[in-house]
Chain A
């Protein structure tokens, strides 16, 4: 048997003999061409595949599949019978779909070229366990969406490979062409705004002058790396509405240029409407309490290697911007929301957002997104580190949120950790908000009261996240399913919580509940499996249901609950602890040990406590 490059399994050395049970290690979902099989002296009635019921996501490879060939031969007729097989080709049903920048056939743009790759439309989605991207320039990524910046001019072939649990794979590719820019304007401290700017010798001097010109497609405005420029006034809106294909800053530079904003309120780029293929690269903006821009109705806007220090608000995209890329950027110490979006194809990669007197990321709409390997840290109390909402149009869906660090603290003047760090739920009443297909994986959420709260979330997966807090607040519910938060909401449906690990320490007096199912009836298709809760003292609930009817639609099994710590007086968590609760608040209600819980509602099969 071999697997060729097209993910076709070809059986070329079929077991031959009268024993008609043969074993193979391919995916039993495949269809086999039965005409390739023949049996001497008999007729094949049917061929079927049998496999033990296993979780293919846990043990994806080498499951034994029996091929059962049913013939018209009776027991006594098997003497001398053999099975002959012509080449059997078993084709996978994987169908990879790659969309670039929303569905264009080919991208030809000036470098650096940001590209949003969508793979989430590949099918069958439930069978795909891995999406691998090779961008063709040496860089790679994983995820049902990805984003990449082609910094050097060239022609690149991007490849998406999707794989199923059995290791079968299919690929699809597309081409991206990054071209060299045509005209470069130079800006240097020793320049002259009356010069033409077209060479380093005839460079301009001020940022105000450099941002004032009306540029053409393909222009580059090169602020000399390492130098600092003042910006005395907001950029005239006539320069920045409907502007196309311009690069500000320096591409591929090891040193950034710095823009010191001299005014302390308003926008640096007011009314930034209709920008298309605009790049800011290698720029530090010392914002002095101003806001950079509020981009509306634009597309393919890239911030690459940029830092905003002390803004009021940071990167704002509004009005369904299509293609907003924040890559290797940072925002430090804002007084307002650092990152806000209502947009499509939002890519936030490898960036750091730290310290805000408001939310860190407030993503009101992310209609297809990839949010990977970022830090969202230190919002003020009462605000979120990471907020994802939804609207009916455009909706929030197909967002890949992987490998981020989301960190809370006791913000100045507070004695408690942040009240809620990650909140994925509606933010406006009465708007029929929808949040679908969120993959929230391998993130670390640290130091908050509620670490994760979801509402109106459907068809989503929360896998292998690490949740750690030293919270001492008495009301800690670490993962809430059923956000209410003042707004009309709907139940969560078809969400998987698996292999998450929560470590909660120093819960001195109060109750900590890992999973809280609450606020409205009708949650369905919620599965909690193989999660681990380690708790140090306090009263611990693994799962709390606000009302008994919320048990419906929940499947919880094979979780692990354990106590940690050295002080025996603080460890009241053992197999006799009341780890499950229905009703009441932090105390009260009906409380159950694991054994009682299993008896009463058949949940938590395979769960252990130690």
Chain B
């Protein structure tokens, strides 16, 4: 499990999984301002965004 500052989410390399996105309400400013999160299989996350391996 690693943490991406850019996307403000935790993700798993195995399975290419992101953690939850939040409420998903269309009028939630927090949700709407978050960048969409790429598939980790197609785009590497920058080194400075990474936390540490489990």
**Interface set of A (CB-CB < 8 Å, partner B):** 271, 273, 294, 296, 318-320, 336, 342, 357-358, 364, 380-383, 413-414, 419-420, 427-431, 485-487
Residue of B nearest to A359 (CB): B22
A-B contact pairs, 26 of them (CB 8 A): A318-B52, A342-B54, A364-B1, A364-B10, A380-B30, A381-B25, A382-B22, A382-B23, A382-B25, A382-B31, A383-B22, A383-B23, A413-B29, A414-B29, A419-B25, A420-B23, A428-B10, A428-B12, A428-B17, A428-B19, A429-B17, A431-B15, A485-B20, A486-B20, A486-B24, A487-B20
User: By the criterion CB–CB under 8 Å, are B28 and A320 in contact?
Assistant: no
Q: Give which listed residue, B15, B28, B53, contacts A382 with CB less than 8 A.
A: B28
- Closest-CB distance, B2 to chain A (whole angstroms): 9
User: By the criterion CB–CB under 8 Å, are B12 and A271 in contact?
Assistant: no
| CB contacts between A and B, total, < 8 Å | 67
Q: In the assembly, what is the distance between CA of A487 and CA of B15, in Å?
A: 14
In the complex, whether B21 has a CB less than 8 A from a CB of chain A is: yes
The answer to whether residues A431 and B29 also contact, given A294-B51, A383-B22 and a CB cut-off of 8 A, is no
Q: In the assembly, what is the distance between CA of A419 and CA of B30, in Å?
A: 12
- Closest-CB distance, B19 to chain A (whole angstroms): 5
**Interface set of B (CB-CB < 8 Å, partner A):** 1, 3, 8, 10, 12, 15, 17-25, 28-31, 51-54
Q: A318-B3, A419-B23, A428-B20 are in contact. List 20 more A-B contacts (CB 8 A).
A: A296-B52, A296-B53, A318-B1, A318-B51, A318-B54, A319-B54, A342-B1, A358-B8, A364-B10, A381-B28, A382-B23, A382-B25, A382-B29, A382-B31, A414-B29, A427-B19, A430-B15, A431-B17, A486-B20, A486-B24
Q: Is the interface of B mostly helix, strand, loop or mixed?
A: loop
Chain B residues whose C-beta falls within 8 Å of the C-beta of A357 in the assembled complex: 30
Q: In the assembly, what is the distance between CA of A431 and CA of B51, in Å?
A: 20
Q: Is the interface of A mostly helix, strand, loop or mixed?
A: loop
Q: In the assembly, what is the distance between CA of A508 and CA of B6, in Å?
A: 40
Q: Give which listed residue, B15, B18, B31, B52, contacts A271 with CB less than 8 A.
A: B52
Q: In the assembly, what is the distance between CA of A319 and CA of B12, in Å?
A: 13
User: By the criterion CB–CB under 8 Å, are B28 and A419 in contact?
Assistant: yes
Residue of B nearest to A429 (CB): B17
Q: In the assembly, what is the distance between CA of A420 and CA of B31, in Å?
A: 14
Chain B residues whose C-beta falls within 8 Å of the C-beta of A336 in the assembled complex: 8
Chain B residues whose C-beta falls within 8 Å of the C-beta of A320 in the assembled complex: 54
Chain B residues whose C-beta falls within 8 Å of the C-beta of A319 in the assembled complex: 52-54
